[in-house]
Copies of this chain bind each other. A is one copy, B any other.
Amino acid sequence: MVKLALFGAGRIGKIHGRNVMLHPDAKLVALYDPYQPNADELSQALGCVQMTPQEIFADPSIDGILVCSATDTHADLIEQAVACGKHVFCEKPIDLSLPRVQQVVDKVKASKIISMLAFNRRFDPNFALLQQRIAAGDVGEVEMVSVISKDPSPPPVDYIKVSGGLFRDMTIHDFDMARFLLGEEVVEVSAQASCLVDGAIGEAGDVDTALVMLRTKSGKLAQISNSRRASFGYDQRIEVHGSLGMLTATNVNEHTLTSYTQDGVNSAKPLHFFLERYEHAYQSEMGGFISAIKGVDVVLPNMEDGLQSLRLAEAALLSVAQKRTVLLSEID
């Protein structure tokens, strides 16, 4: 039985905590959240104790930790986990500072812990299957990847001020997906961006609508389109064009009904947002982490993947600012 402890009992912490409890081979033994109401509620709901961070790291029976706390605690917690030999499952981002992320990645690499950065979309059953099919050669050589990724509505401006902005908090998932599907490292990044959805976002120094183009060494191309607001719901689609054909993954919809009336033909909207759309992905990614701890040979998105996606975000920001194609090698 894999024993895990959770840092952070907020929205995403609740999801991961529950998924551990649902897993037949794992148990959430403790959690910590400095905001006591959250800690109380979740520890009660899941039937686990509360511990201080010190207690968690000191407890030899705890195999690994789940880092779902505030972004500015991630890097420190990972380093402590390394120091204590505990495996780490960490919500993205590792940190908003690229040098700090590099430090963490170096330490993790030098250690023997299993580390996973929670790029949940890789575990979406459809996207995972898409990647398997590409890897199996179903569309021949990959030539172009298109990632469409739009949120139903923008987050509060207060969140945007601390999130690092659209490229670092939202596009970062799409960068990871592009890397996952291109199967080759990106070398060039171009981006264009605007503030079209909410003027307050622009006043906070961020954008809410963006396009990105990526290019790998061998010339494969990827494009990402982002908006903070899709009135019809969470728009999460992928197209991969290859030498032998195209593979697409459409949205997952609320139901399978279609109505036909004199007003037209009406079918279901996409599942509303990430909690609904990626419910299975969250279960599957936790399953992956637990399997890895149990010694199963699984490939997980790791800290290095977090670093690379953050570099792409930095490059996109630079591209917008300087109106030019940025070489990824410039970013470090």
User: Which residues on A are within 8 Å of B, measured CB to CB?
Assistant: 125-126, 129-130, 133, 138-139, 141, 143-144, 146, 148, 150, 188, 190-197, 209-211, 213-215, 219-221, 223, 225, 227, 229-232, 235, 239, 241, 243-253, 255-262, 264-269, 319, 323-325
Contacts and interface: CB of A to CB of B under 8 A. Distances in A.
A220 to B, nearest CB: 7
A287 to B, nearest CB: 17
B266 A246 contact: no
Copies of this protein, total: 4
A243 B264 contact: no
The 4 A-B residue pairs whose C-beta atoms are closest, nearest first, are: A194-B219, A245-B261, A323-B325, A232-B260
A150 B241 contact: yes
Contact of A143 (B192, B196, B266): B196
B246 A221 contact: no
Given A232-B246, A265-B269, A196 B225 contact: no
Contact of A126 (B125, B144, B255): B255
15 contacts: A141-B196, A144-B227, A146-B148, A148-B239, A193-B221, A196-B219, A210-B221, A227-B241, A232-B246, A249-B256, A251-B256, A264-B266, A264-B267, A264-B269, A265-B267
Contacts of A266: 264-267
Contact of A192 (B138, B221, B251, B261): B221
A192 B213 CA distance: 7
